[in-house]
Structure 1
Amino acid sequence: MFLNFTYLSLLTAILTLSLNAPVLDLRTKSELLGITSQNSEPKQSPSTKECKTEAEQLLQQSAQLWQNNKYHEALESYQRVLAICQKLSDRKGIRDTTYEIGLVYVRLSNYTQALQFFEQSLIISKELGDKKSLGKTFAEIAMIYYYQGQYYQALKFGQQALAVDQEIGNKAGIGHNLNRIGLFYEGLSNYPQALKFYQQSLAIGQEIDDKVLLGRTLNNIGMLYTAIGESAKALDFYQRALVFRRETKNLMGEAKTLHNIGWAYEQLSNYSKALEFYQQALAISRRIGNRASTARTLNNIGTVYQKQEQYIQALEVLNPALVIFQELGENSWIGNTLETIGNVYKGLNQFPQALDSYQKALAIIREVGDRRIERLILSNIGEVLVKENQLEMAIVFYKLSVNVTESIRQELRSLPISQQRSYTTTVADTYRRLADLLLQQDRVLEAQQVLDLLKVQELEDYLQNVRGTQQTAQGIPLNPQERQINDKYNQILNQEIQLGRELAELQKIPLADRTPEQQQRIAQLNQIQQEINGKFLQFINSPEIITLVQQLSPSTREQNISLNQLNTIRADILRQLQPKAVLLYPLILENRLELVLVAPDAPPIHRSVNVKKADLNRAIVEFRMALENPKSDAKAPALKLYNWLIKPIEKDLKQAEAKSIIYAPDGQLRYISLAALYDGEQWLVQRFVTNNITAMSLTKFIRQRRAQPQVMAGAFATGRYNFKMEGTPLAFDGLKFAGVEVENIAAIMPGTIKLLDREFSREGTIPRLNDFSIVHLATHAMFVTGKPEDSFIVLGDGSLFTLRDIQLLSLPNVDLVVLSACQTGIGGKLGNGEEILGFGYQVQQTGAKAAIASLWKVNDGGTQALMTAFYAALQSDNNSLALALQKAQIALITGNDITLSKSQYQTVQQRTRSNLPSAVANALSHPHYWAPFILIGNGL
């Protein structure tokens, strides 16, 4: 009988289960596309009666070749079918065959060719008016862009595919397209939007009882929760997906979900459970003969053993995985597995073997173009070189890693989701290690640049949406010796890339079809590669490189980098600021605290403080507890931190004649106010104006104060609203003194627009924000550690405005956003302070110049006293934002009111003092009331 395209498509789908996909979920490309026997649409034969016999033979041959993973041969067979169809002018046959050829090219990861053939198929589908084929081809094109990391393009074609299926009423197609669009949003790190589309897909799957779609979508939702670090929640979705995959006897789907369950347990550090499910997944993959998924699960088992420091067991599974990937030509996976093997050898302290594996991995990963893994390999090479006490060489590779990261950040499109990695550190740790090494070498200027970029990377870790600037895109400049080292290393690497490319092409030729010359060339290339692999160690120990490294050593080196960056900070920023300002970057390391100080008229300096990270963090927690209790004695813990943070640079501050400190806190230092440190006689705020920044490279210090600020002041003063956050009930009551706070602002600042309670709604507030220079929000706000999507502001009508919502605003006319009742470190849990950085960054990204927020929940009576003093200081003498905040804080400490006109004084002071409970009014000098408020951004 004639083997028509319907049967071929089903067979193709079944056999295309080992396509490349992010390792995280082990989803194959065939599944992402929805190409399975359960839901494939019938295809018509591209043959006509005149070529039926020959086409049948060719199609049978293609199916067999596909089954044997001989994709190049299958491609040749399809092309012969295409030639027959073209000869007979069979437009429909040409359409279907070009579609099938596109699928083969996808399997070969040749996306350029795949796209060309899908576009040919698309043109004919439009010509024939075949909307069903049109929708399928749109979906395939969307997925190609997804594989390449061009998520916006993927979204464009995915939406076209969805529109076609909606037009023809194809419910199953609609469900699968919604699922794909969820993938695209997940690729864009827009997890709320991705979840929305997954849930719509899930609803359609339930409506039409499509168990294949249900299994796939539940699995993808699980993957989303794994991606955002909620692996415990992901497990529930995986277990539900597993039920449907077993019901539909989808063995490959079952293996993938079992693999994902293992991955979730691995993320939860439950390694015994992870291995249990990986082994189940492995058994199924082996039983059905899917070598690619077998190798991927072996790779993940190897990473678990590596994390458990069971290095011999790790090699026992990683090496067979590597062999399979090499046989299949899965270059991205080859690079990933080699990198993991390098980590194993690093753990075994077999550093030459580790460097050899990293060298091989780097050549492949650069060829593949996976820059996210490239930066990790470069960082690992740096770490090994540190262990080998080659610190100058380590700096070179850490710099290269940082610069790849900054280059990625500057790109307009996202890169593909990387395969699952055995990450042992965060990307930010590379910046921290590089800064540490530079400070050990007394290369302070370079260290300051790294510390600034560290803040940007920590923002990226938290928000996942941080774009760089022209300044950050430059990364950390290599000095002349480092450039020479890098150029010579790239010569070796490029040689290996070229050889690897030629070898890979020859290895694609089936063994039986190779000529003796080709087989001889393969052997020759393998030999050359082995010789190159040993060249890295020869390279770093060569006389030429040793000479360059010696020129980088502290005893013979000057600060061999461009001073443009320093001059920019000095001339364009610090020298123009009044009162006179310095820039302070602390860096928390495991066994010491480094203080980096940049002044307008001196080279940057650093001071090392002998304090362990654990002791510093303990002191921060003690100080914060004292600050949160207005009856406590906060001076003792404040003095302890003063002795670590300020006393070591006292002379430097005096020499610089500093009156203002631009402060970029690190780690848990973000949870306390620098202004609240105590020198034994007075609070630091009584000596210095303080201005927090997210990063200097993200802050523009241009003073553009308006003669008369225009203020919008909203308040949630009455009522009670209940919410649930991740299943936890939350209740917020109106702030008793918020109304008084707003009335006082209106009395001090003429023309203030007041929005109270229900007037203070999304509709009444958000559209008008950019009409004012100051936006004051007297309401509850919560900034949640590790979860920007859970951080929110409560509006007066009970609606929530999230940190993600803030990024959608455009506020170029706004000088200041004030949140006068925020909380951070919720539930007593202190993270790394990214939520505070994140709020400041998101506000500045809207175009607003600065923000004021509180670090803990403060009595709102005390808050309205401070805010009254702040606006009084702002109104008088045209003070800067930071200086006005300093004067307001000093006013509460000393009990001296800010000077106001007689009418204002009578109105405001009477309202302020008379409404305050005596216990609060008499205690306003305690830092509990004035210290939580920090200014972030351009306040000078």
Structure 2
Amino acid sequence: MNQQRNGWSKLVIDRFRVLKRLAAGLHHSKRRSLGMLFVLSLTLCLWVGQPAGMANLPEPPRSTAQTHASTENGDSPAHLVQQGVEQYQQGAFSEAIAVWTQALERYRAEGNLSHAAIVLENLARAYQALGQTDLEIRHWEQAIQLYRQLNQPQQVGRIATEWAQAYTRNGQYQQAIDLLCGASNRNSLNPSCEASSAVGIAQSLGDRLGEAAALGSLGDVYRLQGQYQQAIDLTEHSLRIAQDLEHLPYQISATHHLGQIYLTLAQVDYRRASFAEESEQPQQARISREAAQAHDRTALEYLQQSTQLAQSTDDLSSQLRARLSSIPAAYRLGEIQEAETQLQTARSLWEQLPNSQEKVSSAITLARLQSNRDARIGLTGFQPRCMSPSEPAKSFLEASVSIAKTIQNPRAESFALGELGHWYECAGEYERALQLTHQAQLIADQSLQTRDGLYLWQWQAGRILKAKGQTQDAIRAYDQSIATLDILSEDILIANPEVRFDFRDTIEPLYREVVGLRLAQEPTSVLIPLTDRNANINRVLTTIDSLRLAELQNYFGNDCVLVSLSDDGMQLVQTDPTAAVFSTVILNDRTAVIVSIQDENQQIQQKFEWVRDQQGNDLSRETIVDTINEYRKGLDRSRDAVPAALGGYDPTLATQLYNWLIRPFEALLDERNVQTLVFVQDGIFRSVPMTALYDGNQFLVERYAVTTTPSLNLTNFAPLNRRQLRALALGLTKPATVDDRIFPQLNYVDSELRAVTSILPNSLELRDQNFTRDRLQQALETNTYPVIHIATHGQFSFEAEEAFLVSGFDPNQDTQKLTITDLDDLIRSTSLQNPVELLVLSACQTATGDDRAALGLAGIAAQAGARSVLASLWAVNDQATAQLISQFYEGLFNEQLSRAKALQAAQIELIRSQGRTSHPAFWSAFILIGNWL
């Protein structure tokens, strides 16, 4: 269960003592003031471990008093409210809801809207405690309607803040922003909030506490959306207001939230460092790691402030949250003793908390910290890998199950049972593990509010069944988990920031484990007719295709859902009877190559081989990664100390990869007269071109047209309309500086653009200062361009947000960076009416070994709606680029040449030039993605 984000609405335990004294007075007085009842409602959501915002706002005393004739009557609505308060304090949330519902009916019958609104607030907070967010939202909505009817704008604003926090917990960030700041500010990084929003209302009324709450909640939404600087600015503003007012609870929350933001920034930079190390960029790795450590230190400073403030008010819950949050950062910084001290103190604080959902989630976090190194260093969320199943961890998990049952919280119980099942799985006690896992699965399947955990427990059941040797049952459980994840993909892969950080650790293994099980059951070197769509090989391809869709969705991280164009990608191969599809599948201990090809009856057949060395040994993932990275470096080096053959290129590694990937299928390709190889690549294979594989006599591209696609099911196979080919040609010839990085001028862009506009009639050229985002948008809105050709520096990164093209200088813009997201938006806005046949990015680059950046490059066609993309994997000599591009466009007008064959002809022209451009550095970087026809 994900550690719950701390809320803004947690007050100190002392306020419960005050609440009890106030409530006790109800039994001794015949007069009930509205202000008194309001205090009761406003102190109900205090230490519940929900990720709410600054919800609890102390109201001034009310001057209006009402007399209840039934003061001494135990069934009076006021008495029912008090009864619910006591039950709530004891963690009996369902019982509190029952009596508050009765009180609500009484107040409505009396026409007492003020008291009814207060009870609605109480009910919303109780449903929050139970994790029933939909019901919580419904009651906030009803409460705010009553406050509008009562003309109480301050309460409208404050309830809007709490309502927004419920949307935030539900992953509905845009709805939260609408309530907090207004719909017009959904995409604004510098919002000026609308008058009717929570922020606007508080500011207009001078309600500084309400403003602090709304700003803090808005900052939390921006943090979850990855807009970290905006989150910091808003939270710091909230903190300043709380300090001015000397309001300690809000200071506790604000400092804790600032700590959380910097912890998130640290995680982002640690991940950047990891990717930089994998792609052999040591300087960038060092810079990112130093930035991460600096963020960790800042986070610890804020968390220490939050802890000290919470200690000054005996706020045990806030102390616990701050200490738990600080432990991973302390471990990462090597402050082991400090981390252990914090862990020990957190255990003591946990024991003092009353039963609540927060106590359940804290117990699960403590269990992870007891025995799981990944949790200690900050890998968040559920981790399928096993560490030491310690007894203290087991005790915390057993307690979490018991508490969850006591407070009748199904969501908390499901996660507690599932985590306890994972403990037994790691201990090798599979029968007990399976029993607990099935219980967690049953609860998770009963309600939409708990479904986000269902795929975890289905996956866990699959692992346990696999360990027990029940392979078929394990496969069924894995398939169920993937089907559930497909349904939840938008929320899990996009809205959950923890999964975005750790996709490889928290999602990928699910797919690869079941693929390994299926492939282990199949013989190699055997042609299998695709007559049974549920056959293992075809199911493997289907599963890997689902993984690639999930990877793309996770990479782009937006709400543009990638939709398959077909449920059966293999049938699409029939559109090109001379094509063979090569799908690579990387597992931990071995790698498979699956070929799909047509027979003489135009029926699909499939065959797979394990990648093995000359001695027949399976090759590990590490061996393949190292070899491919060295191969990529050789492709990019145009001055090897090798004789002039092949332009000075040493083909040793190219031949080795050919032997691994292509040689086992040579006879089959010859027999079927294959002319085009379509690669659907996995992992590290995405970062290198297959065109330069070498069979000992010639490059692969000299024998076959070569293309790639992230997924056949995302590929649009509409034929190319050559009669209407015209281009929007954009380019940059002048040097530019983006993010303090200097990009040199591209001397041959002029000739490249001239070639494009001369070969493709009626084209439009936008160069240098004319190549801006606004001019690009205007051109696309004014005319139809089947081809968009962009000749400029481009950088693809493991993060979609960091991928960009360098545009011309625009005095109205503060940067020359055209993000890939911007490009996608511009193309997509016109592609539905007038599809882009071809997007060319002729000077882009990805780092060696950065397969995630290559994934982003490969996914542009699907993301932007372009049917195919021609792009470079590294910056190519621009003279050679101009030559290759000219040849490629000339080939497009040849009815006998597909797009792939037009590129093949252009690359062969350079190979056979007998000059330095025959080296793969000058031609192999260009890859065709998507529709190759």
> TM-score over 0.5 for the alignment?
yes
Cα distance in 1 for partners of 2:460, 2:331 equals 21
Question: Structure 2 counterpart of 1:801, which letter?
Answer: L
Change in CA separation of 1:106 and 1:685 when aligned onto 2, cut-off 3 Å: same
For the 8 Å contact 1:373–1:418, the answer to whether it is kept is: no
For the 8 Å contact 1:48–1:90, the answer to whether it is kept is: no
For the 8 Å contact 2:493–2:553, the answer to whether it is kept is: no
Cα distance in 1 for partners of 2:659, 2:797 equals 30
**Displacement of 1:7 after TM fit?**
5.7
Query: Which moved further from structure 2: 769-778 or 259-268?
Result: 259-268
Change in CA separation of 1:163 and 1:105 when aligned onto 2, cut-off 3 Å: same
For the 8 Å contact 1:65–1:74, the answer to whether it is kept is: yes
CA deviation map 1:246-293 (0-9, x unaligned)? 346463333212222225567899987655434333333444556544
Q: How does 1:90-105 map to 2 (within 5 A)?
A: 90-105=112-127
For the 8 Å contact 2:256–2:302, the answer to whether it is kept is: no
**Displacement of 1:377 after TM fit?**
1.6
Change in CA separation of 1:416 and 1:836 when aligned onto 2, cut-off 3 Å: closer
Change in CA separation of 1:451 and 1:296 when aligned onto 2, cut-off 3 Å: closer
For the 8 Å contact 2:548–2:711, the answer to whether it is kept is: yes
Residue 403 of structure 2: aligned partner: 324
Pick aligned residue for 1:749 from 733, 738, 760: 760
CA deviation map 1:126-176 (0-9, x unaligned)? 222211122223333333344444444444444343443354354443443
Q: How does 1:348-427 map to 2 (within 5 A)?
A: 348-369=427-448, 370-409=450-489, 425-427=505-507
User: Is 1:40 aligned with 2:58?
Assistant: yes
User: Is 1:65 aligned with 2:83?
Assistant: no
Change in CA separation of 1:622 and 1:50 when aligned onto 2, cut-off 3 Å: closer
CA deviation map 1:721-763 (0-9, x unaligned)? 141xxxxx52222222222322332333333322222221222
Residue 569 of structure 1: aligned partner: 570
**Displacement of 1:612 after TM fit?**
2.3
For the 8 Å contact 1:19–1:107, the answer to whether it is kept is: yes
Cα distance in 1 for partners of 2:398, 2:105 equals 43
Structure 1: segments with no counterpart, 5+ residues:
22-26, 475-564, 724-728, 897-921
Cα distance in 1 for partners of 2:792, 2:901 equals 24
Residue 939 of structure 1: aligned partner: 932
Residue 880 of structure 2: aligned partner: 862
Pick aligned residue for 2:547 from 438, 442, 454: 454
CA deviation map 1:398-456 (0-9, x unaligned)? 11111111122378998888999999943222211222222222221211211222211
For the 8 Å contact 1:406–1:473, the answer to whether it is kept is: no
Pick aligned residue for 1:796 from 790, 800, 808: 808
**Displacement of 1:468 after TM fit?**
5.7
Residue 199 of structure 1: aligned partner: 233
Change in CA separation of 1:420 and 1:10 when aligned onto 2, cut-off 3 Å: farther
Pick aligned residue for 2:889 from 851, 871, 874: 871
**Displacement of 1:660 after TM fit?**
0.7
Residue 221 of structure 1: aligned partner: 261
**Displacement of 1:113 after TM fit?**
4.8
Query: Which moved further from structure 2: 395-404 or 80-89?
Result: 80-89
Secondary structure in structure 1 of the residue aligned to 2:593: strand
For the 8 Å contact 2:49–2:359, the answer to whether it is kept is: no
The alignment-based identity, stated in percent, is 23
Secondary structure in structure 1 of the residue aligned to 2:743: strand
Residue 668 of structure 1: aligned partner: 684
User: Is 1:841 aligned with 2:859?
Assistant: yes
Change in CA separation of 1:671 and 1:373 when aligned onto 2, cut-off 3 Å: same
Change in CA separation of 1:11 and 1:90 when aligned onto 2, cut-off 3 Å: closer
Secondary structure in structure 2 of the residue aligned to 1:133: helix
Change in CA separation of 1:272 and 1:456 when aligned onto 2, cut-off 3 Å: farther
Pick aligned residue for 1:236 from 283, 298, 303: 298
**Displacement of 1:708 after TM fit?**
3.9
Change in CA separation of 1:214 and 1:931 when aligned onto 2, cut-off 3 Å: same
Cα distance in 1 for partners of 2:514, 2:268 equals 27
Secondary structure in structure 2 of the residue aligned to 1:16: coil
For the 8 Å contact 2:223–2:261, the answer to whether it is kept is: no
Query: Which moved further from structure 2: 451-460 or 119-128?
Result: 119-128
Q: How does 1:464-503 map to 2 (within 5 A)?
A: 464-465=557-558
Change in CA separation of 1:409 and 1:863 when aligned onto 2, cut-off 3 Å: same
Change in CA separation of 1:467 and 1:759 when aligned onto 2, cut-off 3 Å: closer
Secondary structure in structure 2 of the residue aligned to 1:702: coil
Pick aligned residue for 1:891 from 909, 925, 931: 909
Cα distance in 2 for partners of 1:223, 1:349 equals 34
Secondary structure in structure 2 of the residue aligned to 1:674: coil
**Displacement of 1:362 after TM fit?**
1.1
Cα distance in 2 for partners of 1:72, 1:220 equals 31
Number of residue pairs aligned between Structure 1 and Structure 2:
796
Question: Structure 1 counterpart of 2:521, which letter?
Answer: Q
Residue 510 of structure 1: aligned partner: none
Cα distance in 2 for partners of 1:34, 1:222 equals 23
Query: Which moved further from structure 2: 70-79 or 310-319?
Result: 70-79
Question: Structure 2 counterpart of 1:202, which letter?
Answer: E
Change in CA separation of 1:621 and 1:358 when aligned onto 2, cut-off 3 Å: same
User: Is 1:161 aligned with 2:201?
Assistant: no
CA deviation map 1:80-139 (0-9, x unaligned)? 654664465333333333333333333344455544543443333222221112222333
Residue 379 of structure 2: aligned partner: none
Cα distance in 1 for partners of 2:921, 2:84 equals 76
Change in CA separation of 1:381 and 1:711 when aligned onto 2, cut-off 3 Å: same
Change in CA separation of 1:863 and 1:277 when aligned onto 2, cut-off 3 Å: farther
Cα distance in 1 for partners of 2:429, 2:509 equals 23
Residue 333 of structure 1: aligned partner: 412
Change in CA separation of 1:837 and 1:93 when aligned onto 2, cut-off 3 Å: same
For the 8 Å contact 1:242–1:254, the answer to whether it is kept is: no
Cα distance in 2 for partners of 1:423, 1:861 equals 40
Residue 311 of structure 1: aligned partner: 389
**Displacement of 1:778 after TM fit?**
1.4
Pick aligned residue for 2:620 from 592, 607, 612: 612
Pick aligned residue for 2:720 from 704, 711, 718: 704
Question: Structure 2 counterpart of 1:180, which letter?
Answer: S
For the 8 Å contact 1:623–1:634, the answer to whether it is kept is: no
Change in CA separation of 1:597 and 1:358 when aligned onto 2, cut-off 3 Å: same
For the 8 Å contact 1:626–1:634, the answer to whether it is kept is: yes
Give every structure 1 segment of 4 or more consecutive aligned residues whose post-TM-superposition deviation is greater than 6 Å: 266-273, 410-424
Residue 778 of structure 1: aligned partner: 791
For the 8 Å contact 2:117–2:147, the answer to whether it is kept is: yes
Question: Structure 1 counterpart of 2:111, which letter?
Answer: S
Cα distance in 2 for partners of 1:806, 1:273 equals 47
Pick aligned residue for 1:597 from 595, 598, 601: 595
For the 8 Å contact 1:148–1:415, the answer to whether it is kept is: no
Query: Which moved further from structure 2: 397-406 or 376-385?
Result: 376-385
Pick aligned residue for 1:625 from 612, 633, 648: 633
Change in CA separation of 1:365 and 1:89 when aligned onto 2, cut-off 3 Å: closer
Pick aligned residue for 1:734 from 735, 738, 745: 745
Q: Which has the higher contact order (CA 8 A, sep 6+)?
A: 2
Residue 910 of structure 1: aligned partner: none
TM-score, normalising length from structure 1? Answer: 0.77
CA deviation map 1:368-396 (0-9, x unaligned)? 44333221221222122222222222111
For the 8 Å contact 2:300–2:329, the answer to whether it is kept is: no
Structure 2: segments with no counterpart, 5+ residues:
1-24, 183-196, 245-250, 271-291, 374-386, 523-535, 613-618, 641-648, 810-814
Q: How does 1:524-539 map to 2 (within 5 A)?
A: none
Cα distance in 1 for partners of 2:62, 2:143 equals 14
Residue 919 of structure 2: aligned partner: 926
For the 8 Å contact 1:86–1:94, the answer to whether it is kept is: yes
Residue 585 of structure 1: aligned partner: 583
Question: Structure 1 counterpart of 2:605, which letter?
Answer: P
**Displacement of 1:244 after TM fit?**
4.7
Query: Which moved further from structure 2: 643-652 or 239-248?
Result: 239-248
**Displacement of 1:224 after TM fit?**
4.6
User: Is 1:677 aligned with 2:677?
Assistant: no
**Displacement of 1:688 after TM fit?**
0.9
Question: Structure 2 counterpart of 1:637, which letter?
Answer: L
Residue 511 of structure 1: aligned partner: none
Secondary structure in structure 1 of the residue aligned to 2:446: helix
Change in CA separation of 1:473 and 1:235 when aligned onto 2, cut-off 3 Å: farther
